Structure 1
């Protein structure tokens, strides 16, 4: 079933603005008047792993902090709650991350508020505060227990990425489907279909970023609500297993969903993967030493990128490729099915110029220069995912 875009979100995706001017608006005006939504940011994980406090000034340490989010014109943030497949008691670890966000909210009620629905989100945005929601990145965090899914929803989770790179007992990941040829089963199990049904009932968006193709098609066949890819890009531009193929993009448009473009250089530029592998191989001895000292493999690699930042800078994708991915989806299925899911603080190589959250307006500038209308830009910056969030809230 195709869910047509609702006029409501054409109207609300633009903030209240002063009297209309006869002269064209600047990109800064368009950016500031749109409701800008980033559907995926991993700063919460860093609050646990590195002890960062996001209402501190973290410039030079992270891609994000509370002040810089506002400086970049961010209005709505889905905070990712993540752990890998080796995490002990992942449900408890997920709750620790939500606790860290709740502490920030308690300290900063004048700046950021957790919201449960579209109505609350729009109220908070009109108060010029950031509306905070949660995305659970990896279905293993519910520990095969639907009551834990309900509990995370009640704490503010409004989407769940069904898998991370690791498969669950009930859904296979893109990594495993492409790397492991001997899987006993692919796609959703009967319990996986129950997860989909429960998420539809709750009004919790189903996120297919990270899932394998069979899981994707099983979701399409079983969901009654529009779905999202919270942080994925286009396979036909960059053939990475994390990206979406044309038939998947078309299926998402038919479903009424939205693809939120990921900023990771390796997902948007097909030349980056080889260069990254060479960089990591060059510094393998140091990375192995850090791992042996007890550092998480991801953090070990991240520290090497930081130490050799001038080398790492040369690995980054050009900024224009982010716009190419957005435009590819628009040309394939239309402007109603694409948005922004940066993956800031979950990636080490954002594209050149997109160094942190303060650079968001550059996307608006580029889209305006490409000839997109203010209405189009409003949809891309936030209107499209707000439409999907609203559609999931509706009881069916």
Structure 2
């Protein structure tokens, strides 16, 4: 009888725990600062308000199912894109079309006041982040025009530098990598870009930038910065991640670091195993490239073809929590959030298959003893604080 009572008690405790974390997750304002679905639209023709389960990490109905309240959609281009400003506007057109078709589900918002109103109406608040800085074409007027279309952060570089800011990839890989003034970091114009962003109310995003650019930004900005999709260098020494001194500088600035889900950015064992996987299938990849397929699409096709192999390349779920907790332990709970990079990465961690799985993070934080107030900060409150602080007065 005692055994039966203990079993019933355990089941009741587990049910209460499940209700508790789900309630906390649903009550929080969940913010993801980086989703690359618009690139999937441009490159593959995927439409956000169709059922894409098993194909992409995101679609509109799954985002609703995952209790996403605020989504920043990335508008991406690299340095080789012809007419990047026009390309950015085409991506924005595709987002606007989805919003126009689904006014009861998703709304583009311009500020935190409209954002909170939209969330209270149980709709997704959509904002935009430029990824790369190339899209402004070295023209502050074009930046302002993109702001007027909903851009609320700009990632200053992508893997390749702009003429006015050097990237993490270039500063790391290219000996003596320089901007248009012949040095690393921000140029005089680059500092004007930061000042214009501060004046408009566009958050400065230091994901992808080189260390010199990072510290030039910290010395220039008058507003809190974000890292829209970066993780912790000490745990995974990748050039895209932030070192301890950088994390401390972001905290001192009042900014926030949004943890990236890319397995290779969170688990240091992943990248060498990915290289081995690509090398193993190199002949097949080369054959696809010879047919005209882009190299990264050819590599992506291998992950989808060899499902069992690629699954084992994914980081354990706990690595995401480790990165969140590392920032908390180093600088406090006020400076960390979520920037998934869904639909911009091949391999998210195990258990985080798509946008319906975000509550697993909340469940783990509850199990680790975090209170509801701190969980609210991690899931979105910290980012909303920074967004509000950046809004033009």
Secondary structure of the corresponding residue to residue 346 of structure 2: coil
Q: C-alpha distance in 2, partners of 1:292/1:225?
A: 48
CA shift, 1:182, in A, is 2.4
**C-alpha deviations, 1:289-338, integer Å up to 9, x for none?**
22222222222211111111211000000000100000000000000000
Instruction: Report the more deviating stretch, 31-40 or 82-91.
Output: 82-91
Partners of 2:164 and 2:258 in 1: CA distance: 24
Pick from 114, 127, 135: which aligns with 2:121?
127
**1:352 and 2:350 correspond:** yes
Task: Tell me the equivalent position of 1:64.
Answer: 58
Greater CA drift, 293-302 or 350-359 = 293-302
Counterpart in 2 of 1:91?
Answer: 85
Structure 2: where are the runs of 5+ without partners?
Answer: 1-15
Which residue, out of 215, 220, 223, partners 1:222?
220
- Map 1:308-319 → 2, pairs under 5 A: 308-319=306-317
Deviation, structure 1 residue 23 = 9.9
Q: 1:202 is matched with which residue?
A: 200
User: SS of the counterpart of 1:81?
Assistant: strand
Match of 1:81 among 66, 72, 75: 75
Q: 1:168 aligns with which of 147, 150, 162?
A: 162
Cα distance per residue 1:259-287 (max 9 Å; x no partner)? 00000000000000100000011111121
> Which range is displaced more, 34-43 or 144-153?
144-153
Deviation at 1:250, TM superposition (A): 0.2
Task: State the match for 2:296 in structure 1.
Answer: 298
TM-score of the aligned structures, taking structure 2 as reference length: 0.94
Query: Is the 8 Å Cα contact of residues 199 and 392 (structure 2) preserved in structure 1?
Result: no
The reply to whether residue 383 of structure 1 matches residue 381 of structure 2 is yes
Deviations 1:188-235 (A, max 9, x none): 000000000000000000000000000000000000000000000000
For structure 1, list consecutive stretches of 5 or more residues without a partner in the other structure: 1-21
Match of 1:47 in 2: 41
Matched residue of 2:125: which SS?
strand
Pairing 1:261-280 to 2, within 5 Å after superposition: 261-280=259-278
Name the TM-score, length of structure 1 as normaliser: 0.93
Alignment of 1:79-158 (within 5 A): 79-158=73-152
Distance 1:292 1:202 in 2: 46
Per mean C-alpha deviation after superposition, the further-off stretch among 378-387 and 78-87 is 78-87
**SS at structure 1 position matched to 2:229:** strand
> Offset at 1:57?
0.3
- How many Å separate the matches in 2 of 1:270 and 1:389? 31
Describe the SS at the equivalent of 1:113: strand
How many residues are matched? 374
The structure with higher relative contact order (CA 8 Å, sep 6+) is: 1
Superposed CA RMSD in Å reads: 1.2
> How has the CA–CA distance of structure 1 residues 283 and 224 changed in structure 2, closer, same or farther, with 3 Å as cutoff?
same
2:6 aligned partner: none
1:130 CA displacement: 0.2
Aligned to 1:233: 231
Q: Distance in 1 between matches of 2:138 and 2:153?
A: 16
